Amino acid sequence: MIGYAARRLVAAIPTLLLVAASVFLLMRLIPGDPAQLMLGDAATPEEVEALRRSMGLGEALPLQFAHWAGAALTGDLGRSITNGLPVLPLILERFGVTALIVLVAVGLAVLIAVPLGMLAAWKQNRPADLAVVGFATLMLSIPSFWLGLILLLVFGVWLRWLPVVGFVPFSEDIGAALAYVVLPITTLVLIEIGALTRMARAATIDVLRLDYISHARAKGLSEFTVLRRHALPNAFAPTLTLIGLVLGNLLGGIAVIETVFTLPGLGRLLVEAIFQRDYPVVQGVMLFVAAIYVAVNLFVDLAYPVFDPRVTAE
Amino acid sequence: MIAPLLAVSDLRVGAKPDIRAVDGVSFSMAPGEILALVGESGSGKTATARAVIGLLPPGLAVTGGRIAFAGAPLTPATLRPLRGPGIGMVFQEPMTSLNPALPIGVQMAEGLALHTRLRGAEIAAACRAMLDRVGIADPTACLRAFPHEFSGGMRQRIMLASVMLLRPRLLIADEPTTALDTLTQAEVLDLMVGLTREQGSAVLLITHNLGLVARYADRALVMRRGRVIEEGAARALLAAPREPYTRALVDALPRRGPPAIPRPPSEPLLRAEALAVDFAGRRRFFARGRAVQAVRGVDLAVHAGESVALVGGSGSGKTTLGRAMLRLVPASGGRVLFRGQDITAVRGAALLPFRLACQIVFQDPYSSLDPRMRIAEIVDEPLRLVPGLGAAERARRTDAMLDAVGLAEFGRRHPHELSGGQRQRVAIARALVREPAFVMADEPVSALDMTIQKQILTLLRDLQRARGFACLFISHDLAAVGEIADRVVVMQEGRIVEEGSRDAVFDAPRHAYTRALLDAAPRLEALVA
Amino acid sequence: MTLRLNLVLGGLLLAAVAGTAATASVWTPFNPVAVNLRRRLAAPTDPYWLGTDEFGRDVLSRLMVGASTGLTVALVTVLVAMALGITIGLLAGFFRGWTDRALMALNDALLAFPGILFALGLLTVIGPSKWGIVLALGLAYAPAVARVVRGSVLSLREREFVEASRALGNSEAYTLWRHVAPNCVSPLTVLATSMFGWVILSESALSFLGLGVPPPAPTWGNMLAAARPYLETATWLSIAPGVMIALSLLGTNLLGDALRDILDPRT
């Protein structure tokens, strides 16, 4: 087990390095002189030259990468072009909202989807199963930003239960803050239920076919105990992998939800930075999200043996 | 007469569109009796047994008849509390019958916690005692361990311990040892019968293997197509079967063929010299895992036209040796000689004469045929590499070959449209169509039903007589190869431990391992004598 | 029974969307980009069945052209991702050794980005345009294809019929072509179908953010983005494009499920 954890941890290091290299190279692919791009057209040639020197643009590419990655390790992701602020604090400030919404949404979605998927598998091909599969497939087919718009329309515009535009930080007024995040979270929960329910159902169907389920029943255990104790952990293992992917994809795709609900999250920061050609911020956000994604998948790998101890044995 | 423990009358099991898996089966069992339910795949034996304990697979349902246990009718409501202490079940596949996510102790304890007043330490003590009884070396460690840490045979012992812990009055054993090699099979079955005798449990043993019936059962029921066609005391049934189908089953049991005709000494066709095969351990980050020595310096020669059986348990290295001799896995030491020529390092086109002359038939007819090709294409493909063969000649030879294996009409079909036995005929046709001098058959019948096994072995023997190729049979079942082998080679842990003519090995085995293999594999003449 | 229903319903939905797209290339009720400020934000009535937008453009016509754009982008993107992924996957699975390790290390690094984030990064470089989206999404999804292809190749190599081909004396290249590649077709078909849906979704999300196909060319995504400020006053603008995306995805998902049932005997 310790060997397995160590192997996973060590394996994450080259991945992170390659991720950093991809982000670095991607930004270097942008046509034009990075220093000129960063300073904009109004800058004098002297200013550009000074920045070129301070950025080490004259050096060989691997050396530039080493400097950049070294600085990133110490938390220095450079400064924003538009407002001159350091990038990392900017990211961390916006990350709070995004992390809250994504984590709560995925948590709730798992709590709903796994029992639902198991129920469907248990009642395979009966009306309850068809209803669950139909609902999940429908949810899988609805784009999150459109569902968000529709929910806004119903609860914000027609019923007027919730505010349509804006955000209040939790530190100021918890009640008001909640009112602003209820709809985004509901949207994500509904969307993610689709994929997670289908996965939980498929995994449970595979598990229910196996002899150890018959063995558990042959011992006289109740159906509930059979499902909870024998089917759940085994069916949850593949679902866990999907949860890792879902979390990452949400972090990457959260921008649309934040746009619909006008939330000041990480996704908005990225999109705004792309529009403003604020490359240090784009670079910083991409590196940050990819690193979080790697960390989430590492966490999933480390949690996996709890549900399937076979993986530690090679 | 004693009141029956289990009484099944006119049981019917079916699926929706008019499928009758079990079609009016009646029988009863006395307490403590061992009853064998014998039949081939599709006979309804497993469905019958699963109907008794209410564990039919999805889609199948009881459609009629009555089942009574200890005098009371079994219904879904009365069945639940009986599962475990009343009726227990051991499953076929040891790799999937224990929950991989839970420690063995937890799985063993839950039955006791549900059905007895034992708690905590008492449960643990009971589990340890039972594990000790089934021959687990360190019961305390076993309770904390997970199933994947044990071999198939060990898991089946643990499974047995877990079920017998509840002292069931009836144990249903569904092909409990089919997935194990012969030696382990006998150990597990001896243990099962011993334990049930101690506890006075009756056993409903589902099997396709008549050898096991004679050895372990009091009485036997022969099933075919959902019906019981013959019933009687086990030995009497084997000694004097009344129904033609039962007779066919009995005839399918391995028996020794006529003695080999001594052949003049000749240059070996294919020969391994001090051949060794290592499998590198998995790469890790800091070091390479320990290499596994599958074959440890083996000398083996096969002469033209002879039949050699290579026998050993799982992990003995027999399959690896065979593949290394065919140059399918690389040797890590020693040489392979073909007609006296060293071919160990020959590659590419230079290897073609060897490939043309040496072929292989695999164990699993489901995996050995490309699912996307038609049967005629599969049999024709080898001819592609024979120099100077026109399309017409290729088609003629393909047709002739298909005809020779009795599949003349099947050329346009795909593998999934064929039964297991038919597929294995295709595999044989593919191996023989180039008229090789040597064929290796790796457990060619162990995935097939008994009567089909017999047919395939007969076919191979007849083809060998007609065409005169040499054959190396790889098998875990010493008795089964007695029929076809001139010579027997026994392997254990990567080494050859005994080698000799079939009769010498069978009548006067020198090595203890050979003796154990012979004892474990029931042969008809020993069973009914 | 469910299998048939999936196939028929999915096929019909996709056929309807494809039919709409095909029609749009020869005929639309109105010019989809013609601005008519006197008719702006007209509710759905006779000549404008689905109403008009903030520039007085006919929503139905724009929806039809959007279908054509969406399906074209999805189709070409899937082809790009497949071509790239199959090449990488076959090379890695065939040569193994260091080629495999190098290709897969790179592949895994790309997979370590959430797909849409990687596409966003690429779009920063390429700039928003129809073919930019195709390139970005194609590159973003290719690693997933490579992974599936390599996995299939490696598992097929262990199958006995591949070993049998080797025992017959067939060359590695012939075996790969005759026995391994045809057996990769089924999993790839299923993957391609799912991917078609992902691309439709990703493209509309990118267009919604303003990073996809630039206005005035209509796409479902940028139509929804433009509708957001008029959520209260012109509700119809927010409904129709979303319904179209959902119907396309539903069709794809149903068809994908049906194909999986037919082609993959395990489930």
The mean predicted confidence, pLDDT, of chain C is 87
Q: Say if residue A33's pLDDT is above 80.
A: no
Alpha carbons C259 and C261: distance in angstroms, whole number: 5
Residues 6+ apart with CB under 8 A from A138: A194, C246, C250
Supply the ipTM of this predicted assembly.
0.88
Instruction: Give pLDDT, residue B284.
Output: 46
Residue B477 contacts residue B497 (beta carbons within 8 Å): no
Min Cα distance C227 → chain A (Å) is 10
Residue B391 Cα to chain centre, angstroms = 40
In percent, how much of chain B has pLDDT > 90? 59
pLDDT confidence bin for B1, thresholds 50/70/90: low
Sign of CA dihedral C6, C10, C13, C19: negative
Instruction: Give pLDDT, residue C1.
Output: 45
pLDDT confidence bin for B65, thresholds 50/70/90: very high
Instruction: Give pLDDT, residue A68.
Output: 85
Residues shown for chain A: 314
CA angle B8, B13, B18 (to 5 degrees): 150
Q: Say if residue B516's pLDDT is above 50.
A: yes
Cis peptide before C128 (omega within 30 of 0): no
Q: Report, at the CATH architecture level, how domain B6-251 is classified.
A: 3-Layer(aba) Sandwich (3.40)
Instruction: Give pLDDT, residue C250.
Output: 95
Run of H or E including B398:
helix B391-404
| Domains of chain C, each with CATH number or no CATH | 58-263 (1.10.3720.10)
Min Cα distance C168 → chain B (Å) is 6
Residue A185 contacts residue A108 (beta carbons within 8 Å): yes
Sign of CA dihedral B134, B139, B144, B146: negative
Q: Shortest CB distance from A152 goes to which of C231, C242, C249?
A: C231
- Chain C residue numbers with beta carbons less than 8 Å from the beta carbon of B385 are 168-170
Give the least confident one: A66-70, A139-143, B498-502.
A66-70
Instruction: Give pLDDT, residue B528.
Output: 56
Instruction: Give pLDDT, residue C224.
Output: 92
Sign of CA dihedral C9, C12, C13, C14: positive
The predicted-structure confidence for C196-251, as pLDDT tens digits, reads as follows 999 999 999 999 998 888 888 899 999 999 888 888 888 888 999 999 999 999 99
Q: Which residues between 225 and 284 in chain B have a beta carbon less than 8 angstroms from any beta carbon of chain C?
A: none
Instruction: Give pLDDT, residue A312.
Output: 74
Instruction: Give pLDDT, residue B290.
Output: 61
Task: Provide the 3-class DSSP secondary structure of residue B495.
Answer: strand
Residue B263 contacts residue B306 (beta carbons within 8 Å): yes
| Rounded mean pLDDT, A259-286 | 89
- Chain A residue numbers with beta carbons less than 8 Å from the beta carbon of B114 are 219-221
Q: Which of B370, B386, B417 is the best mutation test for C, with the most CBs of C within 10 A?
A: B370
Residue B526 Cα to chain centre, angstroms = 21
Does the beta carbon of C49 lie under 8 angstroms from any beta carbon of chain B?
A: no
DSSP state of B369: S
Instruction: Give pLDDT, residue A1.
Output: 66
pLDDT confidence bin for C264, thresholds 50/70/90: low
Domain B270-370+419-527, CATH: 3.40.50.300
Alpha carbons C131 and A296: distance in angstroms, whole number: 32
Q: Quick check: C160 and B368 CB within 8 A?
A: yes
pLDDT confidence bin for B435, thresholds 50/70/90: very high
Q: Say if residue B227's pLDDT is above 60.
A: yes
* Nearest one of B162, B209, B212, B149 to B186, comparing CA atoms: B212
Q: In CATH, what class is A88-307?
A: mainly alpha
Neighbours of C267 (CB within 10 A): 9
Per CB distance under 8 Å, which residues of A are interface residues toward B? 7, 10-11, 124, 209-212, 214-222, 225, 229-230, 233-234, 237, 307-310, 313-314
Q: Quick check: A212 and B93 CB within 8 A?
A: no
| Rounded mean pLDDT, B351-358 | 93
Q: Say if residue A178's pLDDT is above 70.
A: yes
Q: Shortest CB distance from B110 goes to which of A210, A212, A219?
A: A219
Min Cα distance A237 → chain B (Å) is 10
pLDDT confidence bin for B172, thresholds 50/70/90: very high
| Rounded mean pLDDT, A36-59 | 74
Q: Say if residue B287's pLDDT is above 50.
A: no
Does the beta carbon of C226 lie under 8 angstroms from any beta carbon of chain A?
A: no
| Rounded mean pLDDT, B345-368 | 90
Q: Say if residue B169's pLDDT is above 90.
A: yes
Burial label for B398, CB within 10 Å (0-12, 13-18, 19+), is: buried
Instruction: Give pLDDT, residue A16.
Output: 86
The predicted-structure confidence for B116-161, as pLDDT tens digits, reads as follows 888 889 999 999 999 999 989 899 999 999 998 898 889 999 999 9
Instruction: Give pLDDT, residue C266.
Output: 44
Residue A153 contacts residue A261 (beta carbons within 8 Å): no
What are the respective helix, strand and coil percentages of chain A, to the nearest 5? Answer: 80, 0, 20
Does the beta carbon of B364 lie under 8 angstroms from any beta carbon of chain C?
A: yes
Q: Quick check: C163 and B371 CB within 8 A?
A: no
Task: Provide the 3-class DSSP secondary structure of residue B43.
Answer: coil
Q: Say if residue A301's pLDDT is above 70.
A: yes
Instruction: Give pLDDT, residue B349.
Output: 85
Min Cα distance B370 → chain C (Å) is 6
Instruction: Give pLDDT, residue B524.
Output: 60
What phi, psi does B20 have (nearest 5°)? Answer: -110, 100
- Chain B residue numbers with beta carbons less than 8 Å from the beta carbon of A204 are none
Residue B146 Cα to chain centre, angstroms = 25
The predicted-structure confidence for A241-253, as pLDDT tens digits, reads as follows 888 888 888 887 8
Neighbours of C94 (CB within 10 A): 19
DSSP string, A27-40: HHTSSS-HHHHHH-
Q: Say if residue A206's pLDDT is above 80.
A: yes
Q: Say if residue A287's pLDDT is above 50.
A: yes
- The 3-state secondary structure of chain C, one letter per residue: CHHHHHHHHHHHHHHHHHHHHHHHHHCCCCCCCCCCHHHCCCCCCCCCCCCECCCCCEHHHHHHHHHHHHHHHHHHHHHHHHHHHHHHHHHHHHHCHHHHHHHHHHHHHHHCCCHHHHHHHHHHHHCCCHHHHHHHHHHHHHHHHHHHHHHHHHHHHCCHHHHHHHHCCCCHHHHHHHHHHHHHHHHHHHHHHHHHHHHHHHHHHHHHHCCCCCCCCCCHHHHHHHHHHHCCCCCHHHHHHHHHHHHHHHHHHHHHHHHHHHHCCCC
Q: Say if residue C257's pLDDT is above 60.
A: yes
Q: Shortest CB distance from B355 goes to which of C159, C161, C167?
A: C167
The predicted-structure confidence for A108-144, as pLDDT tens digits, reads as follows 999 999 999 999 999 988 899 999 999 999 999 999 9
Residues 6+ apart with CB under 8 A from B130: B108, B161, B162, B164, B165
| Rounded mean pLDDT, A172-176 | 78
Instruction: Give pLDDT, residue C127.
Output: 81
Alpha carbons A26 and C76: distance in angstroms, whole number: 23
Q: Say if residue C72's pLDDT is above 60.
A: yes
* Nearest one of B49, B71, B72, B47 to B60, comparing CA atoms: B47
Q: Say if residue C267's pLDDT is above 50.
A: no
Does the beta carbon of A141 lie under 8 angstroms from any beta carbon of chain C?
A: yes
The predicted-structure confidence for B20-40, as pLDDT tens digits, reads as follows 899 999 999 999 999 999 998
| Rounded mean pLDDT, A38-63 | 75
Domain residues of chain B, as ranges? Answer: 6-251, 270-370+419-527
Min Cα distance A311 → chain B (Å) is 10
- The 3-state secondary structure of B70-130, one letter per residue: CCEECCHHHHHHHECCCEEEECCCCCCCCCCCCCHHHHHHHHHHHHCCCCHHHHHHHHHHH
pLDDT confidence bin for B526, thresholds 50/70/90: low
Identity of residue A7: R
Instruction: Give pLDDT, residue B170.
Output: 96
The whole-model pTM stands at 0.87
- Chain C residue numbers with beta carbons less than 8 Å from the beta carbon of A23 are 121
DSSP state of B382: G
Q: Tokens for B501, please give them.
A: 């003519």
| Rounded mean pLDDT, A52-68 | 78
Q: Shortest CB distance from A289 goes to which of C114, C205, C247?
A: C114
* Nearest one of A258, A272, A275, A280 to A85, comparing CA atoms: A280
Q: Say if residue B288's pLDDT is above 70.
A: no
Min Cα distance B280 → chain C (Å) is 14
Q: Shortest CB distance from A313 goes to which of B54, B57, B148?
A: B148
| Rounded mean pLDDT, B193-211 | 91
Alpha carbons B425 and B431: distance in angstroms, whole number: 10
Neighbours of B259 (CB within 10 A): 10
The mean predicted confidence, pLDDT, of chain B is 89
Domains B6-251 and B270-370+419-527 are alike in CATH topology: yes
- For residue A283, CA distances in Å to A23, A70, A289, C96 come to 6, 15, 10, 33
Q: Shortest CB distance from C168 goes to which of B362, B364, B382?
A: B382
| Rounded mean pLDDT, A256-277 | 90
Min Cα distance A215 → chain B (Å) is 7
